[in-house]
Amino acid sequence: MTHSPPRLILASASPRRRELLAQLGVPFEVVTAEVTEHEDAATDPRVMVAHNAALKADWVAARHPDAIVLGADTTVFLDGAALNKPRDAADARAMLRRLSGRTHTVFTGLAVRRARDGLRLEGGASSDVTIKPLDDTVIEAYLARVHTLDKAGGYGIQEHGDLIVAGYRGSLSNIVGLPLEETKQILTRCGLRA
């Protein structure tokens, strides 16, 4: 008798997380968690992303108790404050001006849950990104090319990043929104083979 692998659900609406998780070769489905994320800029970013990842995973796991549920949350951190998703284009513009010519940290929290047996695992990653000095012309050119309202810090390194990013240290997939090495390790601990 063959056992089918456990069902994996990604508790995220992010198309970037979906694309990254698909690279691991583990079959999964997507269920978006209907939760209100904690986005207080003064909260420790590691605490905030861990809390939001768990919030998403817990919500979906409660509705799909037999599935392994992966939740993730990412934020950008600079000058002691989190830069979450911009409210509008003006907010995205202001974020890019703040990031201009500086190095910031991208934090992602991971949470895995399975309600049936109380499985609870946490993980995370951080990477540093240096942004080029940006003038208004470059910022406007970037905003014209990239939909930034669904991206922490008002930018996506994977979309026209060459316009604004000078370099990075750490996991590129973490900066995009799902650290693949850490995700692979946490899913392997749950019996899923990437």
Tell me the pLDDT of the chain (194 aa) as tens digits: 445 667 999 999 899 999 999 999 999 999 999 999 988 878 899 999 999 999 999 999 999 999 999 999 999 999 999 999 999 999 999 999 999 999 999 999 999 999 999 999 999 999 999 999 999 999 999 999 999 999 999 999 999 999 999 999 999 999 999 999 999 999 999 988 76
Of the residues 40, 66, 73, 135, only one is catalytic, namely 73
b (16+ CB within 10 A) / e for 54-82: bbbbbbbbeebeebbbbbbbbbbbbeeeb
Radius of gyration over every alpha carbon of the chain, rounded to an integer in angstroms:
17
Read off the DSSP letter of residue 153.
G
Contact 16, 178 (CB under 8 A): yes
Please report, in angstroms and rounded to a whole number, the separation of the first and last CA atoms in the chain.
Answer: 22
Amino acid at 90: A
| Angle at 192 (CA atoms; ends 186, 194), nearest 5 degrees | 85
**H runs (alpha helix) in 45-124:** 45-63, 89-99
150 is catalytic: no
Q: What domains sit in the chain, N to C, each tagged with a CATH number?
A: 8-189 (3.90.950.10)
